[in-house]
Chain A
Amino acid sequence: ELKVEQNPLFLSMQEGKNYTIYCNYSTTSDRLYWYRQDPGKSLESLFVLLSNGAVKQEGRLMASLDTKARLSTLHITAAVHDLSATYFCAVALNSNSGYALNFGKGTSLLVTP
């Protein structure tokens, strides 16, 4: 059974600060996704990481993947209020499960002045 663990689950940070969210998973997979969810809204795709060492950046967010360590990170640089949301990492199951996603519990991020 594939387990996906995120930490921290809750994060309150000041504007302008940096922080990293961690996503560990239990079995081999080379497809990892990061999503953002605003309260009461759907999930928005942020990053797709498909190989060991993959790094992607969009604005103040940067995601990386280490398949050997089964670890992905989402780094936030100089946080702003607009980044307040819940962030999910998800790991794709294999073809036997239709490449369905196994989600972490999410990291609820609050950026304060």
Chain B
Amino acid sequence: NAGVTQTPKFRVLKTGQSMTLLCAQDMNHEYMYWYRQDPGMGLRLIHYSVGEGTTAKGEVPDGYNVSRLKKQNFLLGLESAAPSQTSVYFCASSYPPGLPLDTQYFGPGTRLTVL
């Protein structure tokens, strides 16, 4: 099993450009999450999904959109990138709480720089 994978691993954008980050998991997890990590800030939740076709906003959703058309994929879009979106983006997935292996599994991260 590949676990949680993210594409791309690195990206440099210019202000105003758009891009999509792809997260894929092969563990048949219902729940998926997008976090961003900034120095000294820990990880902060951007958006999450509790199942195929459903998404919801997290703590810092502004400037991002998401889609979950397939259970195994969770896409994060930046329509008009800004320098404040320079960060490392992590995708995570999990079973619903209460099931065995109750933890979130994280992807390798995408390092995004917006100039």
A97 & B58 in contact (Cβ 8 Å cutoff): yes
> B97 near A45 (CB under 8 angstroms)?
no
Which residue from A41, A42, A92 sits with its C-beta under 8 Å from B97?
Answer: A92
Q: Which residues of B contact A45 (CB under 8 A)?
A: 103-105
Residue A71 at the B interface, CB < 8 A? no
Interface flags, A72-113, vs B, CB<8A=1, else 0: 000000000000000010101000011111111110000000
Q: Write the A37-48 contact mask toward B (1 if CB under 8 angstroms, else 0).
A: 000011111001
Alpha-carbon distance A100/B46, docked complex (angstroms): 10
Chain A residues near B94 (CB, 8 Å)?
99
Q: B residues within 8 A CB of A101?
A: 33, 35, 43, 45, 92, 104
A48 / chain B contacts, CB cutoff of 8 Å: 102-103
Contact code string B45-57 (vs A, CB < 8 Å = 1, else 0): 1001110000010
Contact across chains for A99 and B96 when beta carbons are under 8 A apart: yes
Q: Which residues of A contact B107 (CB under 8 A)?
A: 42
Within 8 A of B (CB), among A43-64: 43-45, 48, 50
Assess the B44–A103 pair: CB atoms within 8 A.
yes
Residues on A with beta carbons closer than 8 Å to the beta carbon of B49: 98
Encoded as 1 (CB less than 8 Å from any A CB) or 0, chain B from 92 to 111 comes to 10101100001111111100
- Say whether, besides A42-B107, A100-B58, A105-B40, A50 and B45 are in contact (CB < 8 Å): no
Query: If the complex has contacts A100-B45, A106-B42, are A31 and B97 also in contact, measured as CB distance less than 8 A?
Result: yes
Interface contact B108-A100, CB-CB below 8 Å: no
A99 touches B103 (CB 8 A): no
Cβ of A25 within 8 Å of any chain B Cβ, yes or no, is: no
* Complex: A41 Cα to B90 Cα, angstroms: 10
B2 interfacial contact with A, CB 8 Å: no
A-B CB contact pairs (8 Å), 15 listed? A31-B97, A33-B103, A33-B104, A41-B109, A42-B109, A43-B106, A48-B102, A88-B43, A97-B48, A97-B56, A98-B31, A101-B45, A103-B35, A105-B41, A105-B42
